[in-house]
Amino acid sequence: MPLLNTTTRNVAVVPVKHYHEKVIDHYENPRNVGSLDKNDTTVGTGLVGAPACGDVMKLQVRVDAEGKIIDAKFKTFGCGSAIASSSLATEWVKGKTMDEALKIKNVDIAKELKLPPVKLHCSMLAEDAIKAALSDYRIKQSSKDNIKKND
């Protein structure tokens, strides 16, 4: 009997009940989780959020010589919506030019994931992460010498 009880408890999905199925899909099968070498000059790293608020999002992009984003990875510590937003963001930036990627707005992410009002902040965090990653890449490109000194 105790065994049966445990099984029943594991099957219950109460914590994810109110998330839209798209959020659950990204949460359960996150795309592009991982890291790129942050010291690589073709990689831009964006780190946004604050540990104190419970959401930290790292998004990295690899940009080729033509300015196209050829790879993207993320790691997110946060709620289901934050994870889904960053997962979706990596999916969307891949194959885009930097300018196209900067046009991705929080509302697009929120709409796609059907985020409720209180979770719009998660999509904003993902937009900020894209911007931060691309800005980091640009800084690296414009000051490669400084970066070398830094390391």
Residues near another protein, by CB under 8 A? 45, 47-54, 56, 105-107, 110, 117-118, 120-121, 123-124, 132, 135-136, 138-139, 143, 146-147, 149-150
Task: Give dist(CA 52, CA 106) in Å, integer.
Answer: 22
Q: Smaller CB distance to another protein: residue 86 or 106? A: 106
Q: Smaller CB distance to another protein: residue 31 or 133? A: 133
Q: Which tokens is 1 given?
A: 């009997």
Helical H runs in the chain? Answer: 2-11, 21-28, 80-93, 98-102, 106-113, 120-142, 144-150
Q: Smaller CB distance to another protein: residue 31 or 119? A: 119
Let me know if 79 is a catalytic residue: no
Let me know if 53 is a catalytic residue: yes
CB of 41 to another protein, least distance (A): 14
CB of 79 to another protein, least distance (A): 14
Residues 6 or more apart in contact with residue 95 via CB below 8 angstroms = 68, 69, 70
> What's the sign of the alpha-carbon dihedral 80, 122, 126, 25?
positive
Spot the catalytic one: 16, 53, 70, 139.
Answer: 53
CB of 127 to another protein, least distance (A): 9
CB of 87 to another protein, least distance (A): 19
Spot the catalytic one: 104, 122, 125, 132.
Answer: 122
Residues 6 or more apart in contact with residue 6 via CB below 8 angstroms = none
Residues known to be catalytic: 53, 122
